[in-house]
Amino acid sequence: MKKSLICVSCPLGCPIEVEIENGEVISVTGNTCKRGDAYARTEITNPMRSLTTSVKVEGGVHPVVPVKSAGPIPKDKMFDCMKVINNACVKAPVKIGDVVIENIFYNFPSHDDLLHYPSMTKQDMRFDYDTVCGG
């Protein structure tokens, strides 16, 4: 079986053709760099994604803060992670790089944290993980 992909590893966006047999990648063609080969093999066998979303904030200037996973997670676990995130609430203040949900993916191989990224205000904000809403 052959599967066509567009590589997203670099700005070229190469059209890649992957030949699959018995669930294993036999060949990758169309890529112009090594990253394209690695991307195609991973995308076929174990697709991973970065998770970016927002988490509710109690007592902050804004009702939510933007967050992202510390690393890629399995694509098929995205909705499981979002269930955890949708029930989370942190108390202000929160600053860039703070771990908002520690080991959110504890059931998954990556064991990543969910981190807060770009600050929404210019205030010096500090965050204490123990102040998670309802916790």
Domain locations along the chain: 2-45, 52-131
**Domain 52-131 is in which class?**
alpha beta
Tokens found for residue 82: 């979002």
3-state SS, residue 67: strand
User: Which residue is it, tokens 């076929």?
Assistant: 44
Nearest to 95 by CA among 77, 79, 73, 117: 117
Count CB neighbours of 117 within 10 A.
13
Digitized pLDDT (tens) for each residue of the chain, 135 residues in all: 999 999 999 999 999 999 999 989 999 999 999 999 999 999 999 999 988 999 999 998 889 999 988 888 889 989 988 998 999 999 999 888 888 887 776 544 444 666 666 544 333 333 333 333 444
